[in-house]
Chains A and B, each alone.
Chain A
Amino acid sequence: MAKMNMLHAINSALDITMAEHPQACIFGEDVGYFGGVFRATSGLQEKYGKHRVFNTPLTEQGILGFANGLAAFGAPALAEIQFADYIFPAFDQIVNESAKFRYRSGNEFNVGNLTIRTPYGGGIAGGLYHSQSPEAYFAHTPGLKLVVPRNPYQAKGLLRACIKDDNPVIFFEPKRLYRASTGEVPEGDYTIEIGKAEVVKEGKDVTVLAWGAQMEIIEQAAAKAEEAGISCEIIDLRSILPWDAETIAKSVTKTGRLVISHEAPITNGFGAEIAATIQKECFLHLESPIERVCGLDTPYPLALEKEYVPDALKVFAAIKKSVEF
Chain B
Amino acid sequence: MTNPNNISLNISHALEFIDGHALNIPTLKILSEDGDILDGATAPDLDKETALRIYSTMRFIRLLDERMQAAQRQGRISFYMQCLGEEAAITASAAALKQEDMIMAQYREQAALHYRGFSLEQFMNQLFSNEKDLGKGRQMPVHYGSNELHYLTISSPLGTQIPQATGYAYGQKLKHIDAQSGELSSEIDNVTICYFGEGAASEGDFHAGLNMAAVHKAPVLFFARNNGYAISTPADEQFKGDGIASRGVGYGIKTIRVDGADTLAVYAATQKAREIAVTTGEPVLIESIAYRLGAHSTSDDPSGYRTKDEEAEFKSNCPVARFKAWLLKQGWLNEEEDEVQKDKIREEILAALKVAEKIQKPALEELVSDVYDTPIPALQKQYEELKEHIKQHPDAYPITAGRIK
Contacts and interface: CB of A to CB of B under 8 A. Distances in A.
Nearest to A48: B182
Contacts of A71: 167
B174 interface: yes
A157 interface: no
Contacts of A145: 372
B157 A92 contact: yes
A57 B215 contact: yes
A243 B207 CA distance: 37
Interface string A45-66: 0001101101011010110111
Interface stretch (A73-81, A259-267, A314-322): A73-81
Contact of B208 (A65, A102, A243, A246): A65
A75 B207 CA distance: 23
Which of B155, B216, B372 has its CB near the most chain A CB atoms (within 10 A)? B372
B204 interface: yes
A195 B377 contact: yes
A22 B177 contact: yes
Given A104-B155, A105-B135, A107-B370, A66 B166 contact: yes
Contact of B153 (A77, A109, A195): A109
B182 A49 contact: yes
A260 B109 CA distance: 51
A59 B216 contact: no
A74 B163 contact: no
A154 interface: no
Contacts of B76: none
Contacts of B146: 108
Interface in B205-230: 205, 207-209, 211-212, 215-216
B103 interface: no
B328 interface: no
Nearest to A239: B376
Contacts of B292: none
Per DSSP, chain A at the interface is: mixed
Contact of B139 (A61, A104, A142, A242): A104
Interface in B265-283: none
Given A89-B204, A106-B134, A66 B174 contact: no
B48 interface: no
B18 interface: no
A174 interface: no
Nearest to A113: B171
Given A97-B164, A104-B143, A167 B170 contact: no
Contacts of A195: 376-377
A62 B251 CA distance: 14
A69 interface: yes
Contact of A105 (B145, B164, B204, B212): B145
Contact of A103 (B143, B204, B370): B370
A68 interface: yes
Contacts of B102: 73
A65 B205 contact: yes
B145 to A, nearest CB: 5
25 contacts: A23-B175, A48-B182, A51-B182, A52-B174, A54-B216, A57-B208, A62-B207, A62-B211, A62-B212, A64-B163, A65-B160, A65-B163, A66-B170, A66-B209, A69-B164, A69-B170, A70-B167, A70-B171, A75-B171, A104-B138, A106-B153, A108-B134, A143-B371, A195-B377, A245-B378
Given A103-B371, A105-B147, 19 more contacts: A56-B212, A61-B205, A62-B211, A65-B164, A65-B205, A66-B170, A66-B209, A69-B167, A69-B171, A70-B170, A73-B171, A97-B155, A104-B155, A105-B153, A106-B136, A108-B134, A108-B135, A109-B153, A112-B373
Interface of A: 22-23, 25, 48-49, 51-52, 54, 56-57, 59, 61-62, 64-75, 77, 89, 92-93, 96-97, 100, 102-110, 112, 142-143, 145, 166-167, 195, 241-243, 245-246
- State the 10 A-B residue pairs at the shortest beta-carbon distance, nearest first: A65-B163, A69-B167, A62-B208, A73-B171, A105-B153, A69-B164, A66-B167, A242-B376, A69-B168, A70-B167
